Chain A
Amino acid sequence: MTPTFNLANPAQLTAALIPDLILIGGAMFLLLFAVWRRESREHQRTVGVLSIGLALITLTAVIITMYQRNTATDGPIAVDNFRWMMDVIILLGTIGALALGIDDNDRVGTTTAETHVLILLATSGMMLLAAARDLMIVFLGIELMSVASYALAGLNRRSERSAEGALKYFLLGAFSTAFLLYGIALVYGATGATGLAVIHSRIAEHGLASSPILLIGIAMLLVGFGFKVSTVPFHMWAPDVYDGSPNPITAYMAATVKTAAFAAFLRVWLEAFPQEFGSWHRAVAGLAVATMVIGNAIGLQQRNLKRLLAYSSIAHAGFILVAIAAGTTQGASAMLFYLLAYTLATFGAFAVIIVLSRGDAPVTTDDLSGLWTVRPWLAVAMTVFMLALMGFPVFGGAGFLAKWFVLKAALQAPAPQTMLAVVLVLTTVISAGYYLYVVMVMFMRPRRGDAAAIPETPAWTRFVMVACAGAILIIGLAPDVAVQFANVGAPKIEPIAAAAVSTELYPSRPAPLVR
């Protein structure tokens, strides 16, 4: 079967980028529209709704393209299901961030309509990341995404914490980008290529697997990506930035930015460096263990909800790294499913936080005390999101299946990651300590006498909350469709492992037991 698109041909390359172009073009138009009128509450809402419309159109375009079953020649961008699935998750997160943004801007009195456009621009960078099959495109995507996010993090100009967070984000972001660029340069130096497929074939052809320049390059890339997805020890920026940013932006950074970074991470690792599995596997597994243990352990100390979710987000990066460390297509499928469940739970939890927020003050667990007695359904929704993040069956729905999927992928890999699986479940028990604490204060503590009345839930926030909780529970009980999508979404990975899992590193199971 000949590929649909020949990426060497500019016209066909353009055709392969149609959803991305729709989003970027639309965002430009919306930017003009946003500055065309005076700042006002109504205008901000109008632009917000239009942005959601644009995201929906892009989503439709992505789904239509997906069903055309297009393929492409090797080139700078990928035309495959992995890209489309990632785009779907990213766009769902974008819609969540825009919807929450409309209400949260109203709440804090932000009237700048451009905030929504900035989100759309960051999203276009993410979609580029999901598509990138060339390290230069990866870099472009990350920069497009990051520059917009720096501005978004500092959106609330009147808040000192927001400014501090934004500055930190900017400095560390620049720092990590430098690592990334340095890594790209070294990989290019070793292989003479930036295309992932070319790098892969050159490593094989020239026997570069143990080239020190290449290995240092890979290590640099790992550090760069480690910052972007906030793994321990590159996580220091996350709590402050998440705490300082406006609520919808925090959700967006915690879920969607991370999704995009993981998309590129996985593709680079499994398409360009599968032969290096033996070299990077231990590093990735070590990062995963450190991230799971430290993220969850520090999470226990948090009483500020946004910081709690920041550490939760760090811990989840560790869980997702387990899927990457498996180094298989199942791992990639598990990662897709996990990111979907994680996005739903995170946006749902932040929707609840928006309802509870008062001005610029942080929402603490004390504000949740006895929530059940005054707003039972809000408390029930928050419980669903907490249990989903914890990965608890039935009531946490999709969250459990996501963990299950990762566990299964880890144990199913040619080199079974039993140790990672055990660490994953044990750190899940630790995480129960703080997720359950939130549930406990809502249901088992009395409402404090001086607690402020909770305002009516704004319409868009309610929409996000109900949609996320509904999706979590439905996927939790009937996951087969979602699982199938995750499975077809796995990128075409070389049988990584067969080559890379060399016998001396990972002795396979005793001979008579191999099926």
Chain B
Amino acid sequence: MRALLLQVGYGRWILPVLLLLPLLGAAAILLGGRRVAEGEDEVASGAASTPRRLATLFFALEFVLSLGLWWAFDPAFAEWQQVFDARWIPTWGVRFTLGLDGIALMMVLLTTFIMLLASIGSWTSIRRKTRAYYALLLVLTTGMLGVFMSLDLFLFYFMWEAMLIPMYFIVGIWGGERRIYASLKFFIYTMIGSLLMLVGIVYLGLAAEHAVQLHGRMQVVPDFSYDAIMSTARISTTAAYWLFGAFFLAFAVKVPMFPFHTWLPDAHVEAPTAGSVVLASIMLKLGTFGFLRLAVPLFPTAAMNPTVRNIVLSLAVIGIVYGALVSLVQPDFKKLVAYSSVSHLGFVMLGIFALTVQSVQGALMVMINHGLSTGALFFLIGMIYERRHTRMIEAYGGLARVVPLFAAILTFVSLSSIGVPGTNGFIGEFLVLIGAFKTSPILTLVATTSVIIAAAYLLWAIQRILFNPLDKPENEHVPDLNRRELALLAPLLAGIIWMGVYPAPVLRRMQTAAEQFVRTVETRSAKTTASVGEGRE
């Protein structure tokens, strides 16, 4: 397989193609299809069939193309792979550079996988303005993939913001009752953080500036390429702390870490099903990915300063426990799952800042597993919501007798989210906990309690939804999952089981990157000189 891929030059063209394909799909959807009347139910009238088929086709193509990365990527090779480099704005020292490491690889595969499911999952739940909806979903994909792929900080920021607008519209137009408030909150929160990061990026690019031959003469231009900034940018210690603060804010809002999480329940609950899935499965990971790629390796002195580190670790653990406790009391099932994300992402942050190879690998596993399990949970909530139009836990009861298939899958996915051994959730959190125990035992002990709370809130919820007496007449005639929905859930279930019993291939692909992350941070922070650059004496 690998030989074949190399024969067709796969590694050279795949990344730009993955970015371009969704844009082509969006253009095709917007240009095709017929004009619809105001407020028309496009699923009933058939107007939705072209856009949703086109979208699913493009997402499927995208996923199949990206699948080749699994083989083309060489796990043992510690450099950027599948690099694509083109000139973009030479006058500003900005290049269009794409490339992958093991972490980005798994995130790209997760994205194309989840987006395919998200488009299938929207077939009947999105009934108005379907052309615009699927076009936005495709544009959003380009933005998210771009963040994972970019090796140029300007491009990174460009893509980082690019995904904000489609998501704003998806939540704001197709969302629930409080969609306008939720979408604005989501937008403003994210923007405050990322604009300060923009100042940081400009600062870093200028710190790495150097003379190049441009337009026939030597000119000093900034350099925004990741490698150049890592190796040549010179920044004073004071500046490093401020810059770390700017990047921290941008990513902490996205993750979201404990005090910055308030946008999340609103956005997740109000978003349409596919929007919630994308938010939870992929967009939250962009924040932790930012920590792994930028905030920590660029400013290790600031990030590994004992005080800073303890604050971040404490916030992570507060997030873990707080998210779990708040989930416990939610009457709304979607909100329960939303708060559980705060808890799970706390584990990721704990793993990253504990800074052992094990804990970082665990964090990476939690990122993927949370994408699969929480994505599946949001899909399931969306499916039952389409049938009963309520998300309140108390409106249900005894569903296991009416919709056995749904009940079985929901139970299974909940178990995986709790982290029962044999499912994917177990591996990641376990690795994080044993990894983090070495560096901060007390905090790890506190974090461990949330595993129990997680079992409590999810099992209690599914007990009330699935197993209590069937006492509400409107629940007696709920249809079970149809074939499309099963086809949608089956790959997720397969993924959950696969990651639970045989995660080695995934771990192996991320191992080099995880080790390199820990090594980079340790060597760079060990330098007593107050610079980010390695070339300083």
Interchain CB contact under 8 A, B191 and A432: yes
User: Which of A19-27, A91-99, A403-411 lies at the interface?
Assistant: A403-411
Bits for B157-176, please: 1 = Cβ < 8 Å to A, else 0: 11001100100110011000
Interchain CB contact under 8 A, A480 and B199: no
The 6 closest A-B pairs by CB, nearest first: A425-B195, A394-B162, A393-B161, A483-B91, A444-B172, A480-B89
User: Which of A69-77, A100-108, A166-174, A507-515 lies at the interface?
Assistant: A507-515
Q: How extensive is the interface on chain A, given as a class?
A: 35 or more
Asked if B202 is an interface residue, CB under 8 A from chain A, the answer is yes
Supply 4 further A-B pairs (C-beta < 8 A) apart from A418-B203, A421-B202: A404-B198, A411-B203, A444-B173, A480-B90
Chain A residues, Cβ within 8 Å of B195: 425-426, 428-429
Question: Can you give 30 A-B contacts (C-beta < 8 A)?
Answer: A376-B132, A393-B158, A393-B162, A394-B161, A394-B162, A395-B165, A404-B198, A407-B202, A411-B202, A411-B203, A412-B222, A418-B203, A422-B196, A425-B195, A429-B188, A429-B195, A436-B168, A440-B180, A443-B172, A444-B173, A444-B180, A479-B89, A480-B89, A480-B90, A480-B91, A483-B92, A484-B91, A484-B215, A513-B234, A513-B236
Closest partner residue, chain B, to A433 (CB atom):
B188
A509 to B206, CA, bound (A): 14
Interchain CB contact under 8 A, A429 and B162: no
A400 to B157, CA, bound (A): 11
Chain B residues, Cβ within 8 Å of A313: none
Bits for B319-353, please: 1 = Cβ < 8 Å to A, else 0: 00000000000000000000000000000000000
A417 to B86, CA, bound (A): 32
Interchain CB contact under 8 A, B91 and A436: no
Q: How extensive is the interface on chain B, given as a class?
A: 35 or more
Asked if A257 is an interface residue, CB under 8 A from chain B, the answer is no
Asked if B38 is an interface residue, CB under 8 A from chain A, the answer is yes
Interchain CB contact under 8 A, A432 and B198: no
Chain B residues, Cβ within 8 Å of A400: 161
Closest partner residue, chain B, to A484 (CB atom):
B91
Bits for B176-206, please: 1 = Cβ < 8 Å to A, else 0: 0001100110011001100110110011011
* Contact among B39, B157, B183, B187 for A432, CB-based, below 8 A: B187
Q: Give, as a whole number of angstroms, the nearest-CB distance from B35 to chain A.
A: 9
Chain A residues, Cβ within 8 Å of B165: 387, 392, 394-395
* Contact among B173, B179, B198, B205 for A425, CB-based, below 8 A: B198
Asked if A374 is an interface residue, CB under 8 A from chain B, the answer is yes
CB within 8 Å of B: which of A356-387? 373-374, 376, 387
A433 to B234, CA, bound (A): 36
Q: Which of B90, B179, B199, B236 has the most CB of A within 10 A?
A: B199
A480 to B38, CA, bound (A): 42
Closest partner residue, chain A, to B214 (CB atom):
A484
Q: Give, as a whole number of angstroms, the nearest-CB distance from A365 to chain B.
A: 13
A487 to B90, CA, bound (A): 12
Chain A residues, Cβ within 8 Å of B169: 443
Asked if A161 is an interface residue, CB under 8 A from chain B, the answer is no
A367 to B307, CA, bound (A): 53
Interchain CB contact under 8 A, B202 and A408: yes
Asked if B502 is an interface residue, CB under 8 A from chain A, the answer is no
Asked if B13 is an interface residue, CB under 8 A from chain A, the answer is no
A513 to B198, CA, bound (A): 22
Q: Which of A393, A421, A436 has the most CB of B within 10 A?
A: A393
A376 to B222, CA, bound (A): 40
A408 to B39, CA, bound (A): 46
Main secondary structure of the interface of A (DSSP, over half): helix
> Are A440 and B188 CB-contacts (below 8 A) given A425-B196, A513-B234?
no
Bits for A451-487, please: 1 = Cβ < 8 Å to B, else 0: 0000000000000000000000000000110011001
Interchain CB contact under 8 A, A515 and B187: no
Asked if A447 is an interface residue, CB under 8 A from chain B, the answer is yes
Interchain CB contact under 8 A, B191 and A429: yes
CB within 8 Å of B: which of A289-337? none
Q: Give, as a whole number of angstroms, the nearest-CB distance from A334 to chain B.
A: 11
Interchain CB contact under 8 A, B162 and A487: no
Interchain CB contact under 8 A, A394 and B158: yes
Chain A residues, Cβ within 8 Å of B88: 480
* Contact among A421, A422, A440 for B184, CB-based, below 8 A: A440
Interchain CB contact under 8 A, A408 and B206: yes
Closest partner residue, chain A, to B92 (CB atom):
A483
Closest partner residue, chain A, to B199 (CB atom):
A421
Chain A residues, Cβ within 8 Å of B91: 480, 483-484, 487
Chain B residues, Cβ within 8 Å of A392: 161, 165
Closest partner residue, chain B, to A412 (CB atom):
B206
* Contact among A425, A432, A433, A484 for B199, CB-based, below 8 A: A425
Chain B residues, Cβ within 8 Å of A408: 92, 202, 205-206, 222
CB within 8 Å of A: which of B68-107? 88-92
Q: Give, as a whole number of angstroms, the nearest-CB distance from A329 to chain B.
A: 12
Interchain CB contact under 8 A, B206 and A436: no
A400 to B179, CA, bound (A): 27
* Contact among B90, B172, B236 for A510, CB-based, below 8 A: B236
Q: Which of B180, B192, B198, B236 has the most CB of A within 10 A?
A: B198
A187 to B205, CA, bound (A): 40
Chain B residues, Cβ within 8 Å of A487: 91
A408 to B162, CA, bound (A): 20
Chain B residues, Cβ within 8 Å of A395: 162, 165
A411 to B289, CA, bound (A): 27
Chain B residues, Cβ within 8 Å of A426: 192, 195-196
A236 to B168, CA, bound (A): 34
Chain A residues, Cβ within 8 Å of B162: 393-395
Closest partner residue, chain A, to B205 (CB atom):
A408
> Are A440 and B157 CB-contacts (below 8 A) given A373-B38, A433-B188?
no
Interchain CB contact under 8 A, B173 and A443: yes
Interchain CB contact under 8 A, B184 and A436: yes
A124 to B334, CA, bound (A): 63
A411 to B209, CA, bound (A): 12
A418 to B184, CA, bound (A): 28
A484 to B206, CA, bound (A): 18
Interchain CB contact under 8 A, B202 and A404: yes
Closest partner residue, chain A, to B530 (CB atom):
A513
> Are A411 and B172 CB-contacts (below 8 A) given A436-B184, A483-B89?
no
Interchain CB contact under 8 A, A432 and B188: yes
A376 to B90, CA, bound (A): 36
> Are A429 and B192 CB-contacts (below 8 A) given A436-B187, A479-B89?
yes
A42 to B179, CA, bound (A): 49
A480 to B162, CA, bound (A): 20
Closest partner residue, chain B, to A441 (CB atom):
B180
Q: Give, as a whole number of angstroms, the nearest-CB distance from A509 to chain B.
A: 7
Closest partner residue, chain B, to A374 (CB atom):
B38
A321 to B39, CA, bound (A): 46
Q: Give, as a whole number of angstroms, the nearest-CB distance from B264 to chain A.
A: 19
CB within 8 Å of B: which of A413-440? 418, 421-422, 425-426, 428-429, 432-433, 436, 440
Q: Give, as a whole number of angstroms, the nearest-CB distance from B533 to chain A.
A: 10
Interchain CB contact under 8 A, A407 and B199: yes
Chain A residues, Cβ within 8 Å of B39: 373
Chain B residues, Cβ within 8 Å of A418: 199, 203
A448 to B236, CA, bound (A): 57
CB within 8 Å of A: which of B416-450? none
A428 to B198, CA, bound (A): 12
Closest partner residue, chain B, to A476 (CB atom):
B158
* Contact among B173, B184, B199, B234 for A515, CB-based, below 8 A: B234
Chain B residues, Cβ within 8 Å of A394: 143, 158, 161-162, 165
Closest partner residue, chain B, to A376 (CB atom):
B132
Chain B residues, Cβ within 8 Å of A429: 188, 191-192, 195
Bits for A481-515, please: 1 = Cβ < 8 Å to B, else 0: 00110010000000000000000000001100101
Chain B residues, Cβ within 8 Å of A373: 38-39
Interchain CB contact under 8 A, B179 and A444: yes
Chain B residues, Cβ within 8 Å of A484: 91, 215
Chain A residues, Cβ within 8 Å of B179: 444
Q: Give, as a whole number of angstroms, the nearest-CB distance from A404 to chain B.
A: 7
